A and B are shown apart, each in its own frame.
Chain A
């Protein structure tokens, strides 16, 4: 037996009901905000860019694949089974000690879905879209990515024709790690280029 009724009242949208339910559960101490946030984050961000992380880890461990990936990103990525809308023309940008690439879509929110999932909200934010072009170093510093003055910072503007994926630098101290272990280190933020890959 259920008490559920489908109310025709349009003001009682599912968004409101979800919020109401959450507030009641929080009040009763049945859940806490932090745990909810953690789960959303895990599924939206950690699980989201898993495909891209696999591409990066493979490039780090297989020089032949790395060469192919930088030459023909679309084909090399598709060979791992990652293709589909918003990934038809992929270009992979390699970060090196002397070059740091970062990706934006100044017009809207073009983003390589097949490898990174859906774009995070900050990527769609007008502030990021305009500022990263004008003052990339300052924006990167806010992300905790401090770059030496001699590092060449390159900002790439995605479009409906070309989607970029940053191939981050492999962090030192990971020589003994397997491809799978390496993939677990690679974050969405590093593949957009706002952060470097770090050891946990």
Chain B
């Protein structure tokens, strides 16, 4: 299967962190947020240009408000931008995300890291098809 890839910014404020040219996700949720955004763009739910503009806006806002020594979280801004675009399009409101997050936070221990485990066992996938 060929997945269409987008022209991601290589430099400038909207460029994702890379190591030697490759994308780097520090934590699993960052990869999820990235994949989620790409899937929404791919399906035409949101436009990449709109998202990119929101991302630059969030990064600029962070830079203006950052305390000295505060570390920059590119995917925090990414997630805020995604929420902003989805709320702006009337698809998911910030309140709904907040309520769902609170509900997830209340889950018993051991059930809040499902993405760390469920999607990593990819043995054999390249043989499909």
Chain A residues in the interface with B (C-beta under 8 A): 2-5, 7, 11-12, 14-25, 28, 30-32, 35-44, 46-48, 50-51, 82, 84, 113-114, 117-118, 120-122, 142-144, 187, 189, 195
Given contacts A30-B45, A118-B19, A118-B22, contact A18 B120 (CB under 8 A): no
Given contacts A14-B29, A36-B36, contact A122 B82 (CB under 8 A): no
- Contact assessment for A143 and B43 in the assembled complex, using a CB-CB cutoff below 8 Å: no
The minimal Cβ–Cβ distance linking A188 to chain B, given in whole angstroms, is 9
- Contact assessment for B32 and A47 in the assembled complex, using a CB-CB cutoff below 8 Å: no
The minimal Cβ–Cβ distance linking B80 to chain A, given in whole angstroms, is 6
- Contact assessment for A122 and B123 in the assembled complex, using a CB-CB cutoff below 8 Å: yes
- Contact assessment for B95 and A114 in the assembled complex, using a CB-CB cutoff below 8 Å: no
Given contacts A38-B1, A38-B3, contact A51 B20 (CB under 8 A): yes
Task: Tell me which residues across on chain A come within 8 A of B56, comparing CB atoms.
Answer: none
Give the dominant DSSP class at A's interface. helix
Report 28 cross-chain contacts, Cβ distance below 8 Å, ordered by A residue.
A2-B84, A4-B84, A12-B105, A14-B33, A16-B101, A16-B105, A18-B33, A19-B101, A20-B97, A20-B98, A21-B36, A23-B104, A25-B86, A28-B91, A30-B91, A35-B39, A35-B43, A39-B39, A40-B35, A41-B122, A41-B125, A43-B31, A47-B23, A84-B20, A114-B20, A117-B19, A122-B122, A144-B127
- Contact assessment for B91 and A82 in the assembled complex, using a CB-CB cutoff below 8 Å: no
Task: Tell me which residues across on chain A come within 8 A of B115, comparing CB atoms.
Answer: 19
B50 interface hit (Cβ, 8 Å): no
The minimal Cβ–Cβ distance linking B8 to chain A, given in whole angstroms, is 9
The minimal Cβ–Cβ distance linking A130 to chain B, given in whole angstroms, is 16
Greatest chain A CB density within 10 A among B32, B45, B88, B103 is at B32
Task: Tell me which residues across on chain A come within 8 A of B67, comparing CB atoms.
Answer: none
Bound together, the chains give a CA A15 to CA B75 distance in angstroms of: 10
Bound together, the chains give a CA A118 to CA B28 distance in angstroms of: 13
CB interface residues, B 81-99, toward A, < 8 Å: 82-84, 86-88, 91-98
Greatest chain B CB density within 10 A among A16, A28, A117, A118 is at A16
B24 interface hit (Cβ, 8 Å): yes
Bound together, the chains give a CA A143 to CA B21 distance in angstroms of: 28
The minimal Cβ–Cβ distance linking A115 to chain B, given in whole angstroms, is 9
The minimal Cβ–Cβ distance linking A89 to chain B, given in whole angstroms, is 16
Partner pick for A39 among B38, B80, B121, B123, CB 8 A cutoff: B38
Bound together, the chains give a CA A2 to CA B119 distance in angstroms of: 33
Interface string of B35-73 (1 = CB under 8 A from A): 110111011010000000000000000000000000001
Greatest chain A CB density within 10 A among B20, B105, B112 is at B20
Partner pick for B93 among A3, A39, A120, CB 8 A cutoff: A3
Task: Tell me which residues across on chain A come within 8 A of B119, comparing CB atoms.
Answer: 37, 40
Task: Tell me which residues across on chain A come within 8 A of B1, comparing CB atoms.
Answer: 38
Bound together, the chains give a CA A96 to CA B97 distance in angstroms of: 54
